[in-house]
């Protein structure tokens, strides 16, 4: 029996090769894999010895040869195939162990693997006779079966072939995405750049930020091409449960990529559920948005994907306390997201407040995790890196997906327009900006009331804007006086502005654009409040 081993990730490959050798298998290998096996004292035949041809074109051509692919693809049940093998002096290959260049981690032309996927697909096609292993996690499983049974079962070969085609499909999808520029990479332009001996680009170039609008001349299909290939791979075990305990759930990521959730560390608490991840994702994205915008500490409390507490302050403990005070009842069982490492003062405030299902922060001071664990045994305490912005947003519907730009704020304060006689003070401007920023993270219809950089009332997810405003005002309970009101879409009638004025706000910020804007502006002037048009709607469903 003969195995071909050619891997980029050499984790565990020596142990696998040693196990195969002990079972009497011959080992064929190339490049760095061959050197690793030889250095471990294992007898290995190089691919060059098999093919009679040297590596060429800077390692672009190594295994692309009939003596390799004939050995992999030959159907041993077909007499003509066996005759071809004998005629051309080709020995069959019974096991192919390959993992691919890590294209997704650092996309470039030189990391587009050719020989690896070709061998993988060949072995997977011929899985009736050949085993193919693309995942180091399968090394010991394969060895155990070979030791026990002397060969791989048809079911195992089929399972391994399925995984192999999944891997090459995801690999190709990542290349397509990159070449189209849809992942924020430089795509096909990269191929034209001068390269050094290692294949790295030798000219610097700016990579557009995620969420950036394509520049003039960019391909029209950059964001919405005729075809989008999405391959997902499961990460870890099943979650505790889905939206409800009778639903199963798991986390998946785009195959071959590494997202920020992959680096989250859980320090304490119960296993995570579907909604824990969904809500924590919303909270973590929002707190980073606010901290980046404000430049200071931010605290967010999310319940059912909507914020129920938001505040900015000079220190984290105060920001948390003020976020919690926005809506103490809703904060129970919520997700607390903090923009800075949690210090002892913040932890003290948290253990004195309502139970949180999840706390997510960039870090924890010494002793803080133990304090949280002692007082809040069920709270999941997560440490996370910054979230990664997405450029494209997909949402599943029956039989397909809706695709759009990822949410972003385009129109800043310098593009806003005061449309009333009254003009906001600087403090009111800051409250209006925060209210508007929060509004973009609240399910529509949304009304947000802010006073002193603290959200004091949030009305979310209502079928009409008036009731969203009533809910926000009721929660504010008079605390919005002199502050700001933000509406995620225009006010179609004056009644919404009148309700905001009744709540005591000094400024209303909204997109504008209603056919009744004049009546709405007149209502604001009549009540003596300022109104600002942003020219940008922020529905969130």
Domains and CATH numbers, the chain: 2-177 (3.40.50.1380), 274-394 (3.40.140.20), 413-533 (3.40.140.20)
304 belongs to the catalytic site: yes
Three-state DSSP state, 152: coil
DSSP state of 23: T
- The partner residues of 309 in beta bridges, in order of sequence, read 301
d(CA 66, CA 50): 10
Q: Does residue 125 carry a catalytic annotation?
A: yes
Query: How does residue 201 score in pLDDT terms, banded at 50, 70 and 90?
Result: very low
Does the pLDDT at position 279 exceed 50?
yes
Q: In 3D, which of 28, 65, 33, 67 has the Cα closest to residue 45?
A: 28
Q: Would you call 103 helix, strand, or coil by DSSP?
A: helix
Query: From the candidates 10, 129, 267, 304, which is the catalytic residue?
Result: 304
Cα(34)–Cα(62) distance, rounded to whole angstroms? 13
pLDDT of 220 over the 50 cut: no
What pTM does this model have?
A: 0.74
Question: Can you state the angle between helices 274-294 and 426-439, rounded to 10 degrees?
Answer: 150
Q: What pLDDT was estimated at residue 65?
A: 84
> Could you say which of 10, 125, 129, 407 is catalytic?
125
Judged against a pLDDT cut of 50, whether residue 370 lies above it is answered with yes
Q: Which pLDDT does position 58 carry in this prediction?
A: 67
Distances in Å between the Cα of 145 and the Cα atoms of 17, 76, 123, 128 are 15, 22, 19, 16
77-86, 196-205, 394-403, 422-431: the lowest-pLDDT one: 196-205
Distance between CA atoms of residues 26 and 45, nearest Å = 8
Q: Is the per-residue pLDDT at 374 higher than 80?
A: yes
User: For residue 84, what pLDDT is reported?
Assistant: 84
Residue ranges of the alpha helices (H) in 464-516? Answer: 465-476, 494-502
Closest C-alpha to 78, from 4, 131, 129: 129
pLDDT digits (tens, 9 = 90+) for 115-165: 888 889 999 999 999 999 998 989 999 999 999 999 999 999 999 999 898
Q: Is residue 189 very low, low, confident or very high in pLDDT (cuts 50, 70, 90)?
A: very low
Nearest alpha carbon to residue 177 among 186, 164, 165: 186
Distances (CA, A) of 83 to 22, 74, 129, 453: 30, 10, 17, 81
Give the burial string for 413-448 (b: 16+ CB within 10 Å, else e): eeebeebbebebeebbbbbbbbbbbbbbbbbbbbbb
pLDDT for position 212: 34
Query: Residue 197: is its pLDDT beyond 50?
Result: no
Instruction: Decide if pLDDT at 303 tops 90.
Output: yes
Task: Give, as one character, the DSSP assignment of residue 233.
Answer: E
Q: What's the mean pLDDT in 225-229?
A: 79
Report residue 298 as tokens. 């931010």
């Amino acid at each position: 029996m003969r195995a071909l081993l050619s891997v980029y990730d050499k984790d565990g490959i020596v142990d696998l090769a040693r196990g195969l050798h002990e079972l009497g298998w011959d080992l064929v290998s190339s490049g760095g894999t061959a050197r690793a096996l030889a250095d471990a004292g294992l007898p290995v035949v190089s691919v060059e010895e098999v093919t009679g041809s040297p590596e060429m074109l800077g390692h672009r051509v190594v295994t692309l040869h009939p003596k390799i692919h004939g050995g992999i693809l030959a159907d041993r049940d077909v007499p003509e195939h066996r005759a071809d093998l004998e005629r051309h002096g080709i020995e069959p290959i019974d096991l192919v162990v390959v993992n691919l260049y890590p294209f997704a981690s650092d996309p470039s032309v030189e990391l587009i693997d050719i020989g690896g996927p070709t061998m993988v697909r060949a072995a997977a096609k011929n899985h009736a006779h050949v085993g193919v292993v693309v995942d180091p996690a399968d090394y010991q499983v394969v060895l155990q079966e070979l030791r026990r049974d002397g060969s791989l079962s048809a079911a195992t070969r089929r399972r391994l072939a399925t995984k192999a085609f999944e891997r090459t499909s995801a690999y190709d999808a990542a290349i397509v995405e990159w070449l189209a520029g849809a992942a924020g990479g430089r795509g096909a332009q990269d191929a034209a750049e001068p390269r050094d001996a290692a294949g790295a680009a030798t000219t610097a170039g700016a990579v557009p930020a995620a969420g950036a609008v394509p520049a003039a001349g960019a391909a029209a299909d950059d964001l919405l091409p005729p075809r989008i290939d999405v391959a997902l791979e499961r990460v870890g075990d099943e979650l505790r449960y889905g939206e409800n305990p009778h639903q199963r759930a798991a986390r998946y990521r785009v195959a071959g990529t590494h997202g920020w959730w992959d680096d989250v560390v859980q320090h304490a608490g119960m296993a995570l559920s579907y909604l824990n991840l969904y809500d924590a994702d919303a909270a973590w994205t929002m707190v980073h948005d606010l901290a980046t915008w404000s430049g200071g500490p931010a605290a967010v409390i999310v319940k059912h994907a909507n914020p129920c507490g938001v505040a900015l302050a000079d220190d984290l403990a105060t920001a948390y306390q003020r976020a919690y005070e926005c809506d103490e009842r809703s904060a129970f069982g919520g997700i607390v997201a903090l923009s800075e490492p949690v210090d002892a003062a913040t932890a003290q405030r948290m253990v004195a407040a309502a139970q949180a299902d999840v706390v997510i922060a960039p870090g924890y001071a010494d002793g803080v995790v133990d304090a949280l664990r002692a007082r809040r045994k069920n709270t999941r305490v997560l440490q996370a890196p910054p979230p990664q912005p997405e450029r494209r947003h997909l949402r599943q519907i029956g039989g397909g997906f809706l695709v759009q730009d990822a949410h972003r704020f385009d129109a800043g304060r310098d593009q806003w327009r005061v449309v009333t006689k009254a003009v906001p003070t600087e403090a009111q401007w800051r409250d209006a900006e925060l209210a508007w920023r929060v509004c973009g993270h609240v399910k529509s219809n949304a009304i947000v009331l802010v006073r002193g950089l603290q959200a004091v009332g949030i009305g979310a997810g209502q079928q009409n804007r008036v009731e969203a405003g009533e809910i926000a005002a009721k929660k504010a309970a008079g605390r919005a006086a002199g502050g700001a009101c933000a509406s995620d879409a225009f006010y179609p009638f004056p009644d919404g502005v009148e309700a905001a004025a009744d709540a005591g706000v000094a400024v209303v910020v909204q997109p504008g654009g209603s056919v009744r804007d004049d009546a709405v502006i007149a209502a604001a002037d009549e009540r003596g409040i300022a109104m600002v048009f942003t020219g940008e709607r922020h529905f969130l469903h």
